Every structure is written in C-alpha cells, then in structure tokens.
Amino acid sequence: MARGRRPEIVARRARERAALRQRILDAAHDILREEGLEGLSVRAIAARIAYSPATLYLHFRDKADLLRELLREGFRRLAKAVAEESAAAGSNPAARHRALGRAYARFALENPGYFRLMFELPAGPRMVCGDPALAAEVRGEVPSWEEVVGSVVEAQRAGIYASEVDAQRGTLFAWALIHGLTSLYLGGHLRELAPTREAFERLLEEAIDQVGRWLGASLAGAASGG
C-alpha cells in the first residue's frame, strides 16, 4: 500500500514545490512593480509570502538566480502576448506589425514588474547581455529585431508601407513611441490624457495609427487583417 501511494506523494510534492516557486516569482514581480530593484531582496520576498528566507534558497541559489528566472518568465509572458495578438492579426504584414505594438503594451500593462526589469531597469538588460546562454534563451521566446524589421520590409514589398522609408529606423521609431507612451502611463504621467486603462488603449491605437500613416500604411487593409 505504501509503495502504491509513493508516486502520488511525489506528484503532490512536485505540485506544491511548483506552486511555491510561482508564489515567490509573483511576490518578486509585485515588489519590482511597487519598489523597483532596490526593494527586491530575499527577506522582502519571504515576508510577502510568509515563509522564512531559507525556504527561498531551496528554489533559487541567490538573488541573481532569481532575477534570471524572472527574466525568463517575463519573456515567456511577452511571447504569449505576441502570439495571441499576431494570431488575431491574420496574414496582412502591416496588421502583424501593428499587433506587435499592441502585444508589447498589453504585456507591460498586465506585467509592469516584469516590464520594468526587462526594459527599464539597467540590471535586466545587463544580465541578459552578460549571459550568452540566458540571452539565447530569452531572445528565442520573442521575435528578433531582424524579424520585426522584416515585417516592415514585407509590408513595403506588398505596397502597404512606403518603400522609401528606412525599415530599421521605422521600426525603431515605432518601438520608441509605444514604449514611451506605455512607460509614461505606468509611471502615472498620463492621468489627464488617459485616466483609465481603456482611455490609454484608445490613445495607444491613435499612436499606432500615426505610425501606420507615417510608414505609408493602408489603415483599412491593416485593420482588416486580410
């Protein structure tokens, strides 16, 4: 009888361990969102989940190991948002390009702590750049810079975007606009223009439309996803 229960016990303990690991990551995300990297410590996370600091070391070797896992989780979540928005965009290359902007902003709104670590706090990009294995892992989750630029080139070849626009500069300017608006909103700097998330999403669509017009997009074609 005891032997028959052992696989169930092992499976249950594995689920409990995975659940606690996720609680640790969720608590770390909340601290990053509220206090930034300076507020993130093993002791602070332990206090949030009502466990001893020693418990966290059963899941992560040190703070750097925790940060690496936060980066992995953040890029997984960004990849999920990109996949969902891209699937809804259809085959139109301009629509897919617009979908990337929506996915980026949506990810940031739903995961502000991960967004800060990945794109705003120096520690995140520095850790990715300094760890080739981690860089390959997280960059494999989302479209590369070359792929995003490629979507602009594809739209140019289809006659949707103007061919005289430099694809790399167009991609950079679009990213800067979406990132800037999203960062300003999360920082509480757009309270008058966008007091609610719904208002911000409308503002975001206006920004995406402006980028589309600048790139020479046929907005009707982009919106149809055809």
> Phi/psi zone of residue 60: left (φ > 0), alpha (ψ -120 to 50 degrees), beta?
beta
**CATH dotted code for 68-224:** 1.10.357.10
In order of 55, 130, 179, the CA distances from 175 in angstroms are 40, 23, 6
**Residue range 173-224, pLDDT digits in tens:** 999 999 999 999 999 999 999 999 999 999 999 999 998 888 885 444 444 4
Domain boundaries, the chain: 1-60, 68-224
Residue 102 burial (10 A CB sphere; 0-12, 13-18, 19+): buried
Class of the 1-60 domain? Answer: mainly alpha
**Residue range 97-119, pLDDT digits in tens:** 889 999 999 999 999 999 999 99
Cβ-proximal residues to 106 (8 Å cutoff; 6+ apart), any chain: 81, 85
Torsion angle, CA of 105/107/112/118, rounded to 10 degrees?
-100
